[in-house]
């Protein structure tokens, strides 16, 4: 049965879920701050804009998490002064540690996307990755993005689940759940400890994702907030199916038991299919069928 929560409860669940997730987030999602992360993030930004990115003097990231986008863009020399905001203090603590390790200076600010504690026209770039689908009132959030951007500034979001792509991804997830016992036997892997499903982050996982988007819906939201030059594109199809299959299988196993060779296969296979998606499918197929949507637009 679908769980109905108030906006306040959704925000609270997001804070708790991501505070718990912060410690292992980078390992779980393969967040990289080396050459791979830098090239992946730069490629996503280039794809979303439809051209090579300019350098932005002041940026604000919404739902910055552990810093995947901002820190990699700083390393690529595309951002001058960076502000990273997030509703989860735990994620921002990990971000600050990551920044320190990389020798980068960023300002962090605990903030809800719907109420940004920044003056009007403070940034040339407002960006985010995998965050819009967590925000209860998106119209209000988009009005905030527009308010804090300087005239001519850019808004850019990537990694948002498309409703159609999300439905398609249920096929590999279901298939993997069915095949999981056979997969564990074949690899000699023990099932996940019995209490894993009771852990707070697992229980909250079902309530923190509140939207999946149609491509037109995302564009409309940006236009309604006053943005122009709105561009929506899609990415990852085969890579996503492969990724969800492997993550679903792995979630049923004791993490300490999953062999290194399997993890390498999952990682390399994902990168290979990402290249295939990029070179073959993303240019030819409509944005809506991909798992991830990207949005870029400008303030007048
Ligand atoms: C899936 S994570 C993505 C983190 C990071 N952007 C990345 O790509 O690795 C979503 C992030 O959005 C944050 N978040 C959720 N709801 C939010 C809200 N209402 N306002 C601001 N941040 C929010 C979470 O705390 C979390 O750090």
Contact (CB, 8 A) for 248 and 217: no
- The label of the residue with tokens 């540690």 reads 97
The string over 168-190, giving b where at least 16 C-beta atoms fall within 10 Å of a residue's C-beta and e elsewhere, is: bbeebeeebeeebeebbeeeebe
Cβ–ligand 1 distance for 68 under 6 Å, the answer yes
What is the predicted pLDDT for the residue at 165?
Answer: 85
List strand residue ranges (DSSP E) for the chain, in order. Answer: 56-61, 79-86, 106-110, 123-129, 149-161, 228-235, 292-298
Q: What is d(CA 169, CA 293) in angstroms, rounded to the nearest whole number? A: 14
What is the predicted pLDDT for the residue at 206?
Answer: 74
- The label of the residue with tokens 């409309």 reads 220
Kindly give the distance from the C-alpha atom of residue 63 to the centroid of ligand 1, in angstroms, as a whole number.
Answer: 3
How far is C-alpha 210 from the geometric centre of its chain's CA atoms? 14
What is the predicted pLDDT for the residue at 30?
Answer: 87
Q: What is d(CA 59, CA 123) in angstroms, rounded to the nearest whole number? A: 5
Phi, psi values for residue 56, rounded to 5°: -105, 125
Cβ–ligand 1 distance for 233 under 6 Å, the answer no
Contacts of 11 (CB under 8 A, 6+ apart): 87, 112, 136
What is the predicted pLDDT for the residue at 199?
Answer: 57
How far apart, in Å, do the first and last CA atoms of the chain sit?
43
To test the ligand 1 pocket, which listed residue (15, 63, 95, 159) has its Cβ within 8 A of the most ligand atoms?
63
What is the predicted pLDDT for the residue at 198?
Answer: 47
Cβ–ligand 1 distance for 250 under 6 Å, the answer no
Cβ–ligand 1 distance for 18 under 6 Å, the answer yes
H or E element, residue 35: helix 35-49
To test the ligand 1 pocket, which listed residue (59, 72, 131) has its Cβ within 8 A of the most ligand atoms?
131
Burial of 76 (0-12, 13-18, 19+ CB in 10 A): middle
Strands of the 292-298 sheet, one edge to the other: 106-110, 79-86, 56-61, 123-129, 149-161, 292-298, 228-235
Q: What is d(CA 25, CA 285) in angstroms, rounded to the nearest whole number? A: 31
What is the predicted pLDDT for the residue at 82?
Answer: 98
Contacts of 1 (CB under 8 A, 6+ apart): none
What is the predicted pLDDT for the residue at 209?
Answer: 86
- In the numeric block, which tokens belong to residue 215? 């491509």
Could you tell me which of 186, 295, 178 has the C-alpha nearest to residue 233? Answer: 295
Q: What is the mean pLDDT of each run of 10 residues along the chain (300 residues)?
A: 78 94 90 96 96 96 98 98 98 98 98 98 98 97 98 98 88 93 94 64 77 92 98 93 92 90 94 92 88 96
Q: How many CB atoms lie within 10 A of CB 248?
A: 20
Task: Return the ligand 1 atom nearest residue 29 CA.
Answer: 9
Kindly give the distance from the C-alpha atom of residue 69 to the centroid of ligand 1, in angstroms, as a whole number.
Answer: 12
Rg of the chain taking only CA atoms, in angstroms: 19
Cβ–ligand 1 distance for 67 under 6 Å, the answer no
What is the predicted pLDDT for the residue at 12?
Answer: 93
Cβ–ligand 1 distance for 299 under 6 Å, the answer no
What is the predicted pLDDT for the residue at 217?
Answer: 93
What is the predicted pLDDT for the residue at 1?
Answer: 43
Q: Which protein residue has the closest C-alpha to ligand 1 atom 22?
A: 63
What is the predicted pLDDT for the residue at 5?
Answer: 87
Kindly give the distance from the C-alpha atom of residue 29 to the centroid of ligand 1, in angstroms, as a whole number.
Answer: 14
Q: What is d(CA 29, CA 203) in angstroms, rounded to the nearest whole number? A: 19
Could you tell me which of 144, 172, 167, 155 has the C-alpha nearest to residue 241? Answer: 172
Q: What is d(CA 279, CA 281) in angstroms, rounded to the nearest whole number? A: 6
Contact (CB, 8 A) for 156 and 220: no
Task: Return the ligand 1 atom nearest residue 15 CA.
Answer: 25
Kindly give the distance from the C-alpha atom of residue 259 to the centroid of ligand 1, in angstroms, as a whole number.
Answer: 30
Phi, psi values for residue 160, rounded to 5°: -95, 130
């Amino acid at each position: 049965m679908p769980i109905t929560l108030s906006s306040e409860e959704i925000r609270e669940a997001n804070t708790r879920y991501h505070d718990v997730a912060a410690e292992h987030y980078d390992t779980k999602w393969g967040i990289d701050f080396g050459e791979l992360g830098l090239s992946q993030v730069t490629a996503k930004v280039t794809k979303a804009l439809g051209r090579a990115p300019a350098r932005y003097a002041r940026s604000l990231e919404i739902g910055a998490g552990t810093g995947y986008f901002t820190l990699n863009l700083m390393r690529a020399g595309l951002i001058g002064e960076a502000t990273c905001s997030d509703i989860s203090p735990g994620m921002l603590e990990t971000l600050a540690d990551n920044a320190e390790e990389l020798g980068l200076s960023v300002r962090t600010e605990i903030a809800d996307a719907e109420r940004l504690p920044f003056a009007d026209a403070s940034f040339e770039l407002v960006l985010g990755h995998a965050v819009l689908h967590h925000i209860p009132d998106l119209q209000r959030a988009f009005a905030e993005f527009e308010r804090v951007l300087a005239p001519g500034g850019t808004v850019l979001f990537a990694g948002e689940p498309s409703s159609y792509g999300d439905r398609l991804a249920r096929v590999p997830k279901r298939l993997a759940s069915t095949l999981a016992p056979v997969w564990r036997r074949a690899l000699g892997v023990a099932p996940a400890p019995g209490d894993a499903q009771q852990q707070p982050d697992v229980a909250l996982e079902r309530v923190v994702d509140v939207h999946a988007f149609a491509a037109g819906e995302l564009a409309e939201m940006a236009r309604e907030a006053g943005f122009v030059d709105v561009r929506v594109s899609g990415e990852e199809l085969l890579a996503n199916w492969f990724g969800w299959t492997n993550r679903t299988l792995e979630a049923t196993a004791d993490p300490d038991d999953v062999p290194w060779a399997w993890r390498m296969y999952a990682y390399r296979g994902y990168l290979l299919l990402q290249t295939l998606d990029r070179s073959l499918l993303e240019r030819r197929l409509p944005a809506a069928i991909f798992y991830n949507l990207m949005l870029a637009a400008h303030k007048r």
